[in-house]
Amino acid sequence: MTSTEHRSDSAILGRMSVNDVDTIVDICRSNAHSTETEHIVPDASDALFTWDYDKGARPKLEKLYEKGKTSQWNANDLPWELEVDPSTIFRVGDQLPPTREDLAGDPSSPLHNWGEAEWAEYRTEAIAWRLSQFLHGEQGALLCTAKIVETVPWIDAKYYAATQVVDEARHVEVFGRYLRTKLNSEYPINPHLRLLLDDIIADSRWDMTYLGMQIMVEGLALAAFGFMHAGTEEPLLKQLLRYVMADEARHVAFGVLSLQEYYSNLTGAEIRERQEFAFEAAVRMRDRFLSQEVYERLGVPVRPMVELLLNLPPERSAFQRMLFSKIVPNCRKLGLLDAGDGWLRDRFTEIGVIEFEHHVDTSEEYEEFVAA
């Protein structure tokens, strides 16, 4: 393989194609009854000291650090005393997207004949599943950002990453508390998400931690939080999400600002590796949002639901595509879309998300959250 050739889907993803339904389902099924409470990932990264303490060598990172210091908030200040009815958290559109029409509009859908009782139970389980995955993802971010403090070579980046460690600990705290005290329901980590987090943690290169967590995982989370914030009037969750979104916008901006400089000096072969990692991460996050565990808990055949969601027509799969509205423009700004004859552009076109390339990238968007 030459330095400009990309690996096949099977080599990158470990399956024959992006939409290999059987493998997607089996990954979750094989982990369905895991009871582990600890998960060990080998991490061979070098701890890097820098004796250059000249703060401000990278002005945009210094500015972000100042924002991070002045934007801290306390989880205990949220209105935890409010009562929450899980069945009414999402009134807009009757439920979290994908919509009822997406899930049950086809007569062949296993949900086609559901009544109101089944849909009410689904709404409760869907919000518990989604917030559970946010909780697990935030712990992944906590570990990754601690690793960035240890491995990144610039003092300005170490300073900012230290503020993000505090942010991520607070996010783990608030999502865990909401699940325990307001929903009384939790789900284990989705296996597709766990595979991605394992890859990010295990890679010894500091910039891959940035790419995987700051750009891909946190970029998708920022979009998903935006959907939830717009779709609920439950005051505690709405305020919680607003605070978390402001933090996450800074975190993604941190990734973009740091990687722009570093990527400008990489070889074609090194950029190719980053493109492949971004593609793999995008597919695994898409698979995560198929929410197989919800259907299994409700006694619904999982494979037909996964197949249905993967094959939704473009006009009805807007939710899953919109989740990439932060990722694609950030990849474009990093030069990953068109490097190597546009390989990543072609792959994002294949999975139906390239339309978002000209959305606002997050290196500037975080300013909107500060002003709001």
Q: Give the span between the Cα atoms of 323 and 115, in whole angstroms.
A: 29
Which pLDDT score is estimated for 92?
Answer: 45
Q: How far apart are CA 372 and CA 250, in angstroms?
A: 14
22 within a domain of the structure (yes/no) = no
Looking at residues 347-368, what average pLDDT do you find? 78
Residue 137 has pLDDT above 90, yes or no: yes
Burial call 97-122: b when 16+ CB within 10 Å, e when fewer: bbebebbbeeeebbbeebeeeebeeb
Range of weakest confidence among 162-171, 182-191, 311-320, 348-357: 311-320
Residue 93: per-residue pLDDT: 46
pLDDT mean across residues, the chain: 89
Q: What is the pLDDT of residue 369?
A: 57
Does residue 318 carry a pLDDT above 80? no
Report the domain count for the chain: 1
Written in H, E and C, the secondary structure of the chain is: CCCCCCCCHHHHHCCCCCCCHHHHHHHHHCCCCCCCCCCCCCCCCCCCCCCCCCCCCCHHHHHHHHHHHHCCCCHHHCCCCCCCCHHHCCCHHHCCCCCHHHHHCCCCCCCCCCCHHHHHHHHHHHHHHHHHHHHHHHHHHHHHHHHHHHHCCCHHHHHHHHHHHHHHHHHHHHHHHHHHHHHCCCCCCCHHHHHHHHHHHHCCCHHHHHHHHHHHHHHHHHHHHHHHHHHCCCHHHHHHHHHHHHHHHHHHHHHHHHHHHHHCCCCHHHHHHHHHHHHHHHHHHHHHCCCHHHHHHCCCCHHHHHHHHHCCCHHHCHHHHHCCCCHHHHHHHCCCCCHHHHHHHHHHHHCCCHHHCCCCCHHHHHHHHHHC
51 falls within a domain: yes
pLDDT for res 32: 61
Percent of the chain with pLDDT over 70: 92
The reported pLDDT for the residue numbered 115 is 93
Domain membership flag for residue 14: no
How far apart CA 368 and CA 326 sit, in angstroms, is: 14
Q: Structure pTM?
A: 0.92
Instruction: Give the whole-angstrom CA distance, residue 89 versus residue 108.
Output: 29
Kindly report, residue by residue over 237-248, the tens digit of the pLDDT.
999 999 999 999
How distant is the alpha carbon of residue 31 from its chain centre? Answer: 20
Residue 28 maps to a domain? no
> What pLDDT is stored for residue 361 in this prediction?
65
Given the structure tokens 């409010």, which residue do they identify?
A: 82
* Position 125 in a domain: yes
Span 16-73, pLDDT tens digits: 889 999 999 999 887 766 678 899 999 889 999 999 998 888 999 999 999 999 999 9
User: Which of these ranges, 21-35, 194-208, 336-350, has the smallest mean pLDDT?
Assistant: 21-35
Residue 32 belongs to a domain: no
pLDDT for res 180: 96
Total number of residues shown for the chain: 372
pLDDT at residue 275 greater than cutoff 50 = yes
Q: Is residue 16 part of a domain?
A: no
Q: At residue 174, does pLDDT exceed 80? A: yes
pLDDT of residue 131 exceeding 70: yes
CATH number, domain containing residue 130: 1.10.620.20
CA distances from 325 to 14, 140, 227, 358, 363 (A): 26, 21, 11, 9, 14
- pLDDT confidence of 371, banded at 50, 70, 90? very low
- 314 inside domain: yes
* pLDDT at residue number 368: 62
Confidence of residue 111 (pLDDT cuts 50, 70, 90): very high
pLDDT at residue 366, rounded to an integer: 58
The token pair that represents 70 in the structure block: 């002045």
Give CA–CA dist 185/123, Å, rounded.
13
pLDDT (0 to 100) of residue 297:
95
Q: Which residue has the higher pLDDT, 318 or 52?
A: 52
**72: containing domain:** 44-371
- Do 236 and 244 form a contact (C-beta atoms < 8 A)? no
Tokens of 258: 């740091």
Structure tokens at 120: 């009410």
Q: What pLDDT is attached to residue 5?
A: 85
Which has the minimum average pLDDT: 33-42, 131-140, 231-240? 33-42
The whole-number pLDDT of residue 96 equals 58
pLDDT(372) > 70: no
